[in-house]
Structure formats: structure tokens, C-alpha cells
Amino acid sequence: MNKLINLSLLISIMVLFQYNIFAKPYQPQVKGGFKSCTVTEYRYKPGKIVLKNGEMSYAQNFDAHGNQIELIYYENNKISSKNKVENKYNTAGLLSESVYFDKTGKVSTKFTYSYDDKTNLIGNVTYNAKGEVTERGSYVYDKNDFMIEETHEVKIGENEFYKGTTKYINDAHGNKIAEIAVRSSNVSVSASSEQNLENNENKSEVKTEESAAPPDTVKYEYVYDVKGRIAKETRIGVDGFKFVKGYKYDAFGNLKEQIYFDENNKPVMTTVFEFK
């Protein structure tokens, strides 16, 4: 997989799940009218308290909708690069397009988003600097508007996409308790069908080879706070390994702290989100 695809995937994850890391991909609005957020990591030493001086990871500036318009990256607590973002919104005020620029001001990645009549995100398409489709996602919801299935197609070759589908079982809060990878395949497309991948045209020119691998299931367990928000999440992988994270929120419901625990349930790192 080339670097363009890796960058697209990274930004896609940040865009969709920065402020909602669970089953339903809400658009990532920051509440409270904040204009910026700085993210700092504090690492623990074995048997000692958290380090006093944290390491700054990145920062974001937001538009009036609470969506990022600038990404600022740090190395050794110093700014290493800045990337501008331009957003467009539909008539309902939902994010319809985001364009990311590199440090020279050239377009690096573009995302488009589509929604159903309940404002659920049902599709997104990723484009590279040349305007070529590198990834496409689609999402399915149940009657409670909880996401129960998502499918992603990621470009892995000149005319080849990797396609994977994941299904979810959710709890009463709408957070996933089981994540099932049900299918994966390589999809070969002709040049003309690739140009129309975002609207499913020229389907006759698409060839699919499905994997015979059995589905993998990842399980989740949660502890909720008094407001029904996740205070602690345990991810149980297919190998049985448990990955535990804790969450704290500000008065507006924005994530302000994310705590990582080791296998002995001891904190190893805290990520702090400081809004201004």
C-alpha cells in the first residue's frame, strides 16, 4: 500500500472518529464554541506517577461548526508542520466535503460525505491529490439509528481495491459490543469503472475475489458514568488480549482525557485534550 493511501486512511480515521470512537460515525463536531484543541500525551514510568512534562502530539483549529480547519503537528514539543483544511456544508448544515492541504499549500486529500434523511452518515469517498478515488465507505443502521454494518474499499493497486465488511452488535447505548469482520475481497476494476466508483456505475466491469477466511470477532465491554457516557472501555481481541482505555469529559461532553492501561490495569499513558 503506498504512502498516499496510508495518509488518506490516517486522516479518514481522524475525521470520522476523533470525537466519537465507537460504532456510529457522527460528524466530528466539537461542542462549546471552542476554536482550538491541543493534544498532549503524558507517559507513566513503571511504579511512578505520570511524567510532569507531557509530549505535545498535535493541535487542531475549528470552524464555527466545530470541525477542524487546521492540523498542527509537533515533534519534541515544537511545531513540525501545519496543514490547512477547507470544509463545505450541505443545506442541512452537515459536513459534505473536506479538503486537506499539505505544508506547501497543495491539495493532498479530499473527502466527500453523504447522509440519509436522519442525518446518519451513509457514505464517504476519499480522493488523492490527482482526484483519483482511493477509498470508499458505506454505512448501514438499524431502526434505532445505531450503525450495524460498514464496508470499505481501499485502493491497493493500479486498478485493484481491497474490500472489507464489518458488522456490529450494539448495546442499549448504541455502542458496539461485538465487531465481526464478515468478509474481505479484492475488487479489480477497469479504468473507466474506477472513475465512477463513487456512484457505483459500470458494475459489469468489476471482478471480485472473496476470501475464504472465517470471520473474526472483537468484543467490547463498557463502564458508563452517571450521564450514560463511556467511562471505561475494554477491547477483547480475537486472540483474547484485552486493551483498556478510560475516558473523561468536559462540561459540554467533549473528550478531555483518554487513559491507557496495561494488562495489570495500571495506567501507562494519558492523552489530554485542551480546548480553548
List pLDDT tens digits, range 27-38: 457 899 999 999
CA 227 to chain centre: 24
More confident residue, 27 or 160: 160
Mean pLDDT of the chain: 80
Residue pair 32/158 in contact by the 8 Å Cβ criterion: no
| Confidence category of residue 184, pLDDT binned at 50, 70, 90 | low
Model confidence pTM above 0.85? no
Residue keyed to cell 498535535: 58
Query: Grid coordinates in use for 142?
Result: 438499524
Residue keyed to cell 481495491: 161
The arithmetic mean of pLDDT across residues 187-215, rounded, is: 48
Residue pair 84/105 in contact by the 8 Å Cβ criterion: yes
Residue pair 121/115 in contact by the 8 Å Cβ criterion: yes
Report phi then psi at 155, rounded to 5.
-70, 125
List pLDDT tens digits, range 32-59: 999 999 999 888 876 555 545 567 788 9
Q: Which of 172-176, 198-202, 258-262 has the lowest mean pLDDT?
A: 198-202
DSSP state of 58: E
Nearest CA to 187 out of 166, 202, 205, 169 is that of 205
63 pLDDT exceeds 80? yes
List pLDDT tens digits, range 73-98: 888 888 888 899 999 999 999 999 99
The arithmetic mean of pLDDT across residues 140-158, rounded, is: 92
198 pLDDT exceeds 60? no
Residues 151 and 119: their CA atoms lie apart, in Å, by: 19
22 pLDDT exceeds 70? no
